[in-house]
Amino acid sequence: MAQDVFQEARALTQRGLEDYARGRFHEAALVWEKATQLAPGDARTRSLLEFVRKRIKEREAQPVAHAHGATLESPIPGFLASLTAVETDEPTGGKFPEAPPDGEWAQISTRRVPAPEGAEPGKNEPGPADTWKDLPLQVDNLQASARGLLDECRTALRDGRPDRAALAAEMALQLREQAHSPEVDGIVDSRLLLFERAFCACIGDMKSAPIRAIPSDALDAYGFDHRAAFLMSRMDGTMSVGDLLDVAGMARFDALRLMSALRRAQVVDMVPI
């Protein structure tokens, strides 16, 4: 293939990724179709084209595929703020303990994008009610809350509800990080392997290639930090989840946790490769 043709095909593939991230599925399909004509041997672009065509059919069958606007915040800050107000004599003014110092795990949201209004969630499919609101949180007993979240994670994983399991795991980790309680630390730290399983199940096929489902400039609105932005910048349709974990620049557990959060927030989609 002539170098100029290769460069043009590559540029078209990148343009299609941007179209897809902005929800312009038909435009992405047209661009990727042209790229495959220029480079018929490029398996990456063929995979992207097949994927977006499938997404177009899904969108036509169910018009609202992504409801990126409405999200639900994590209850952990308000929950622990209430606890602090009860247990201390000092006025808190609704404030929450300071975030971990720079260099530790950056706080990420447990935001969940609700399903389209009126949708009927399946038996094992998460729906609008599948949020933190009915997870076990007790203002007067942090240890019971931690154990309840562990049980919820285990049960959801067993029942084939990976999003629910990953959400419970994320909330347990946030509880540990923000409670500053040795007892909670011990309870949560004893189940990190369970949480890793939940994150992997939520992510899905480790050989698939994540691509952005929102524009890069919209990421801040979802509560993610610079590490999420870095990971998403490497999502070009060729790097598998396993490849991204290798270049993430963070511990494998943290990278899995972040990828799981991106999946739950529906800001990335997975392309089979």
Q: Using the 8-state DSSP alphabet, how is residue 134 labeled?
A: G
pLDDT at 88 over 50: no
State mean pLDDT over 57-74. Answer: 60
**Cα–Cα dist 266/215, whole Å:** 12
Q: Using the 8-state DSSP alphabet, how is residue 23 labeled?
A: T
**Cα–Cα dist 146/245, whole Å:** 28
Region(s) of the chain under CATH 1.10.10: 209-271
Instruction: Label residues 147-177 b or e (16+ Cβ within 10 Å = b).
Output: bbbbebbbebbeeebbbbbbbbbbbbbbbbb
**What is the three-class DSSP state of 172?**
helix
Provide the Cα torsion 55, 16, 211, 218; round to 10°.
-100
pLDDT at 102 over 80: no
Q: What is the pTM of this model?
A: 0.75
Residue partners of 258: CB distance under 8 A and separation at least 6: 108, 224, 227, 228, 231, 248, 250
Range from 58-67, 173-182, 200-209 that averages highest in pLDDT: 200-209
Condensed to tens digits (0 to 9), the pLDDT of residues 135-174 reads 777 767 889 989 999 999 999 999 999 999 999 999 999 9
pLDDT of residue 273: 78
pLDDT at 26 over 70: yes
pLDDT band at 218 (very low <50, low <70, confident <90, very high): confident
Single-letter amino acid, residue 124: N
Main-chain dihedrals φ then ψ at residue 70, nearest 5 degrees? -85, 125
Residue partners of 129: CB distance under 8 A and separation at least 6: 121
**To 10 degrees, what angle do helices 25-38 and 43-61 make?**
150
Instruction: Label residues 53-77 b or e (16+ Cβ within 10 Å = b).
Output: bebeeeeeeeeebeeeeebeebbbb
Percent of the chain with pLDDT strictly greater than 70: 72
State mean pLDDT over 10-22. Answer: 92
pLDDT of residue 113: 40
pLDDT of residue 84: 47
CATH number, span 209-271: 1.10.10
Give the length of the chain.
Answer: 273
